[in-house]
Amino acid sequence: MTTQQLTAQIKKKNSFLCIGLDVDLTKIPPHLLTQEDPIFAFNKAIIDATHHLCVAYKPNTAFYEAYGLKGWKSLEKTIQYLNTNHPEIFTIADAKRGDIGNTSRMYAKAFLEDLGFDSVTVAPYMGKDSVEPFLEFKDKHTILLALTSNEGAFDFQTKAVDGRELYKQVLETSKSWKNSENLMYVVGATKAAYFADIRKIIPNSFLLVPGVGAQGGDLKEVCKYGMNAAVGLLVNSSRGIIYASNDENFAEAAAEKAKELQQEMAVILNN
């Protein structure tokens, strides 16, 4: 999917919501546990109930890898279901990969080619040759960790390197990499005060913004400083939506939560 197609979906749906599919078997409704594939059954019900309210889904691969081969199969079924039934929806494999070049190439092939995600999250720590293999895929996107939502972001990311904060170095340097037009960046919703500075360096790039909902990030603050003329934001909420209820009505409850965020977004988009 191109960024132009993504922006068109945002305008059509009045939404820049990304729903995180972080499935924890200890949190899903107990009645699903008797199903052959409880993770996929949960995801399918959430997708069926919420697809009209969001423009992206983001399974975090940790929640699938934790269940071994069965978990990986559930991830594969989930992305196939999305690509078959909702090809207009942007998909993100939140896998946070990155390694020496030939290894990165295999990670890129796994997520962007074999599984068929539109994008994958990548850690910038190993530098240019660890990220460029991900950027070679046409109309696919590499979402580079820039300033993360957690407290530990202050351990390294905001520390000065050659007189400039590391996260700013990541943003600036990555712009010079081959096929950098395929880059997007992760910036946590809990770091709203930093968005204005970030937009000075990457005014046009899409930002994936986790941290609204369970982590307490503020949607209005994020939009005030992070939105650009083409919107340029995908705001994610995972637990705050998918675990709204663990009764039989869990999918409707998730849709209610998603709708609350979508309606807030619609107001912001139309002002």
Residues that bind ligand LLZGTKA7 (CB under 6 A): 20, 22, 60, 94, 148-149, 186, 188, 210-211, 213-215, 236-240
Beta carbon of residue 62, minimum distance to ligand LLZGTKA7 (angstroms, whole number) = 7
Cβ-based neighbours of 121, under 8 Å, separated by 6 or more: 92, 93, 94, 95, 96, 97, 143, 144, 145, 186, 208
Q: Which is nearer to ligand LLZGTKA7, 60 or 262 (CB)?
A: 60
Q: Find the catalytic residue in 44, 70, 96, 128.
A: 96
DSSP alpha helix (H) spans, 14-165: 38-50, 62-65, 68-85, 101-108, 128-135, 153-156
Within 86-214, residue ranges assigned H as helices are: 101-108, 128-135, 153-156, 166-174, 195-201
> Between 20 and 133, whose beta carbon lies closer to ligand LLZGTKA7?
20
Cβ of residue 141: shortest distance to ligand LLZGTKA7, in angstroms? 15
Nearer to ligand LLZGTKA7, 104 or 236 (CB): 236
- In the complex, least distance from residue 4 CB atom to ligand LLZGTKA7, rounded to whole angstroms: 25
| C-alpha span between 100 and 94 (Å, rounded) | 19
178 is catalytic: no
CB of 154 to ligand LLZGTKA7, least distance (A): 12
Biggest CA-to-CA distance, the chain:
57
The tokens for 151 are 């407290």
Cα separation, 188 vs 146, whole angstroms? 9
Nearer to ligand LLZGTKA7, 179 or 215 (CB): 215
Residue nearest to ligand LLZGTKA7 (CB): 148
Q: Mind telling me the catalytic residues?
A: 96
